[in-house]
Amino acid sequence: MIRTLLVLIAIGVGFSCDSDENKKGRFLLKGNEKMEENDPKSAMGFYGEALEMDSTYADAYYNKALAHLQLNQLTESIQDLSLAIQYNPDYYDAIFQRGLNYLDNGEFYKAREDALKLTLLEDQNWKSYFLTGLVAERLKQFPEALTAFETAFKLDPENSDLLVNQATILYYQKDFENATKLLNQAMDINPLEPNLHNLRSMIYFDEQNYEEALNSVEKAISLDKSHAYFYNNKGLYLLFLGHQQKGLDLINQSIKMDSKNPFALRNKGIYYVMQGDKASALQYLVELNQNYPDMDLVKEYLAKAQAL
């Protein structure tokens, strides 16, 4: 749920003579300039020029992978990162980014292998344990995830995201009191972290404090208007506050932004239960109960739909 991170561009080094090494470095730098201009397609052209000069140029593969990522080309990004690692087996940033990509691609066990490589390479780098925690979270190994995020925070105690990650695990475990304590600690470090306010809203919702849930998620949206989950959560809270059409509009907006979010489909099912539309509610909730049997509210609202 929480993975806001800036990837780093590899920087080429110039040389005084106009050697092949200097030329490929210039192509790398030109590609980086295009990335700064938010033009990843042109950037890939320059990285390709560098690779034509040196097919083992790990930095060019790495930067090209980031350009693919910006274009949502996850498979191609993973392929280029693997080539960067092939030619530079200890390329920490490439292994880290590939692990994140594997997670986004649903390849959790490959991500776990990369997390292990990172801890072997740099056991005092917070990112090694951050990736370890993310993998354990996806595998629902919550105690292991919590330990990893705690270790990461000890290594980078000014990183509020790592506290939010810990609070997220405690939220999954329904330990709202300690999750809230961690969020308060994160607030002291960075009160402008949107995921902090979104998670706080989720805790308020589970405590049936819907007004405060709405206030918190609106704060999250004011800080990050690009996050589909925030709009989906706001839509859910509005449903429970009696503003059902407004809630549905936001849930639909969230689906347009991210069509793969099962929580948004659940919320549409809840909306139709509230409308008394049994057929439409079952259309969503029956399949969700089959695919996500542990998702909160699904069984409850499936039973309500069946009773209509």
pLDDT at res. 20: 64
Buried b (16+ CB within 10 A) or exposed e, 20-41: ebeebbbbbbbbbebbeeeebe
Beta strands in 125-238 (DSSP E): none
pLDDT digits (tens, 9 = 90+) for 255-277: 999 888 899 999 999 999 999 99
* pLDDT at 3 > cutoff 50: no
- Average pLDDT, integer, range 59-78: 94
User: If you write DSSP's letter for every residue of 86-100 in order, what string do you get?
Assistant: HH-TT-HHHHHHHHH
Burial of 305 from C-beta contacts in 10 A (0-12 / 13-18 / 19+): buried
Segments making up each domain of the chain, as ranges: 9-105, 261-308
- Average pLDDT, integer, range 75-83: 96
* pLDDT at 18 > cutoff 70: no
The CATH number that domain 9-105 falls under is 1.25.40.10
Nearest to 265 by CA among 297, 243, 219, 223: 297
pLDDT digits (tens, 9 = 90+) for 163-204: 999 999 999 999 999 999 999 999 999 999 999 999 999 999
Where does the pLDDT of residue 7 fall: very low under 50, low under 70, confident under 90, or very high at 90 and above?
low
